[in-house]
Structure 1
Amino acid sequence: MRIESSSEKSFLEQVFTKTGFSSADSELLADTLTDADLRGISSHGIQRLAWYLNMVKEGTIVPQNKVKVLKETPTSLFVDANQNMGQIASAFAMRKLIEKTKKSVVSIAVIRNSNHFGTAGYYSRMAAKAGLIGVSNTNTRPLVVPTNATEAFLGSNAFAFTFPAEPHPFVFDGATSVVSSGKIQVLDKNKKDIPGEWAVDKDRKIVKNAKAAEDILSTAAFTPRQKGGGVLTLGGLFENNSNYKGMGNSLVVELLTGILAQGSISADTSVGKHDFSQFFLTIDPSFFGDLDVLRKNATDMFNRIRHLDHTPGTEIKIPGDREYKNYAENTKNGVTIDDQTAKDLARVGGELGVEVPKEL
């Protein structure tokens, strides 16, 4: 089914407010989820709502807690998310970094004691709107099997990078694993098989059934030695396809997040204290040259790539192309909600007395 994005956002704002979040935080949370759905990243959209609300009920997320600044300099920021949603601390940190970077060229922030923060690209695009380069990282629960391993240890550990360009910023936003777990969740909800080599079982054999893979992921984080299996790193199943590079990328994110924040590494987020960590970097490219010239040069490079000879029936896309195209189409036609998520929304709306978005 399709629903209007404005209805989705209004519904989410009301749900989060009734769950105990402030009106400003509710508006932000609703915007991050709706933005993901508009961009076609349904794995990080409204389908996450039931999961978030369960964590609130369990006390993993505490809506009333406020962000704390632990340390700050003109070019750096160390933040405690205080066990609230990752989106709240992350948007706070990025807003502060944008201010700092306008004065100092480069700024970094680290967040500890956080939770899932939605799409990494959301925060990097905040930097891009200000004419800056933006980098966003997070660790996650343990879902990913390292090279040659049979049990999950690493997180999907998202990495996002933006650079000013036309007609939209360059936006690379992706997991350091083959996929994020949310994509498997969406396939499971839609009763579809996994189209690629994404997940493995305890014997490191490829799993194609999305429900079976989701079952592995739901237990791997808590009892890895009992169940085994997980999502593959970038590069896939075998070393000869350089999957150790994907593992290396994931470890870089672990070092910048859990280790630098002195919080939990991904492997430990589900067996003790549940705390994710985030890392952000912003750079003012205008220090190196006129921003309009840099933007034009980047745009020219991307256009040359888009128009390279390519195989019939295909299209060469630059990171961000698909998402901005989806954004325009879904703003006009509405966002797509799977049947299981629609049922979840009806249940949540009924429990909280919030009118559920109507199908277009």
Structure 2
Amino acid sequence: MRVKATVERTYLEAVFDKLGFSKQDSHLLADTLVDADLRGISSHGIQRLAWYRRMIKDGTIIPTKQPKVLRELPGTVLVDANQNMGQIAAHLAMNKVIEKAKKVGVGIGVVRNSNHFGIAGYYARQALNAGLVGIALTNTRPLVVPTNATQAFLGSNAFAFGFPASPHPFMFDGATAAVAGGKIQVADKKGQELPGEWVVDKNRDVVKDPKEAEDILATAAFSAGPQKGGGLVTLGGNKEVNANYKGMGNSIVVELLTGILAQGSISADTVKGKHDFSQFLFAFDPAFFGDPETLKKDATAMLNRIRGLKHVPGKQTWVPGDREYRYLKENQQNGVAVDDKTYEEITAIGKELSIEVPQSI
């Protein structure tokens, strides 16, 4: 089914308000989920709501606590999310980072004691909207098996990078695993076989059944006890011969800049106690290096050359950002897609909180 984005936003704002978030925070949280759905990143859209609801119920997320700035210098800031939603702390931290980059050319922010923060690209676009180049990283629950390992240890560890270009910015936003864990949730809800080398079992054999894959990830990500083994594979797939150690390296870099730098938990240890993800946010002013319009023009020219390369029949050569901006335009007109299982979940939440549930267009 499809739902108007404005209707989805109204529903989400009402839900977060009923759950104890401030009006301002409810608006932000709704915006991050709607933004993901509009851009075709349904793994991080409204389908996350039931999970958020469970974490609020069990006290992992405390809506009334506000993030705090612990320390800052002209170019750096450290923020404590204070057990609230990752979106709220990351938005605060990126605003601080933008202020610093505007003044001294560069800003770096680290968030500790955080939570899931939606799509990383949301914060990179915050910087883009301020005329800056933006980067956002996060660690996650342990979902990813390192090269040749059979147990999950690393997070899917998203990395987003935005650079000004036309007709839309260059926007890379993706996991350092083959896919984000949320894509397995979506496939499970839809009953769709996994199409690629995304998940392996305890013997490192590729898993295609979405329910089996979701069970493997759930055990790895939420159990402090013995793992069944298996998990998401790193970029590069299942075999070392395809250089999956490079994907592992990317994921470790994110671990160092998030959990280690924030003095929080690395992904592997987020199952042992409190749910404390960490985030890293970075922005710089490209104007220091040259005229912003010239830089934008040169970036656009390079990207257009890539788009114009000879390609295999029936395919299209595209660059990161093309698909999500195309989906954004289409979904603003046609509404966002909501799968049946997710609709059941948001219907139950609406009934529980006495909130009108979005109807199909």
TM range (shorter): over 0.9
Q: Which letter does structure 1 place at the counterpart of 2:177?
A: S
The 5 Å alignment of 1:307-346 reads: 307-346=308-347
Distance 2:335 2:225 in 1: 40
Contact 1:63 1:85 (C-alpha < 8 Å) held by counterparts: yes
Aligned to 1:188: 188
Distance 1:70 1:227 in 2: 39
Post-superposition shift, 1:223? 5.1
Aligned to 1:167: 167
Aligned to 1:7: 7
Contact 1:264 1:273 (C-alpha < 8 Å) held by counterparts: no
Provide, for residues 272-296 of structure 1, a one-character-per-residue CA deviation record: whole Å limited to 9, x for no partner. Answer: 2210000011010010000000000
Contact 1:65 1:82 (C-alpha < 8 Å) held by counterparts: yes
Provide, for residues 185-217 of structure 1, a one-character-per-residue CA deviation record: whole Å limited to 9, x for no partner. Answer: 000000010000100001111000011000100
Aligned to 1:127: 127
The alignment covers a number of residue pairs equal to 360
Contact 2:151 2:227 (C-alpha < 8 Å) held by counterparts: no
Aligned to 1:115: 115
Aligned to 2:230: 229
Aligned to 1:54: 54
Contact 2:109 2:281 (C-alpha < 8 Å) held by counterparts: yes
Q: Which letter does structure 1 place at the counterpart of 2:68?
A: K
**Which sections of structure 2, spanning at least 5 residues, go unmatched?**
none
Aligned to 1:144: 144
Distance 1:105 1:165 in 2: 20
Paired residue secondary structure (2:14): helix
Within the alignment, does 1:202 sit opposite 2:202 as a pair? yes
Within the alignment, does 1:274 sit opposite 2:243 as a pair? no
Contact 1:266 1:276 (C-alpha < 8 Å) held by counterparts: yes
- Quick one: percent identity of the two aligned structures? 65
Q: Which letter does structure 1 place at the counterpart of 2:91?
A: A
The RMSD of aligned alpha carbons is 0.7
Contact 2:134 2:162 (C-alpha < 8 Å) held by counterparts: yes
Aligned to 1:178: 178
Post-superposition shift, 1:224? 6.8
**Which sections of structure 1, spanning at least 5 residues, go unmatched?**
none
Provide, for residues 22-72 of structure 1, a one-character-per-residue CA deviation record: whole Å limited to 9, x for no partner. Answer: 000000000000000000000000000000010000000000001111100
Distance 1:357 1:98 in 2: 35
Post-superposition shift, 1:264? 0.3
The 5 Å alignment of 1:276-315 reads: 276-315=277-316
Q: Which letter does structure 2 place at the counterpart of 1:306?
A: R
4+ residue segments displaced more than 4 Å: none
Contact 1:55 1:61 (C-alpha < 8 Å) held by counterparts: yes
Aligned to 2:242: 241
Aligned to 2:214: 214
Within the alignment, does 1:30 sit opposite 2:43 as a pair? no
Paired residue secondary structure (1:356): coil
Contact 1:87 1:117 (C-alpha < 8 Å) held by counterparts: yes
Paired residue secondary structure (1:227): coil
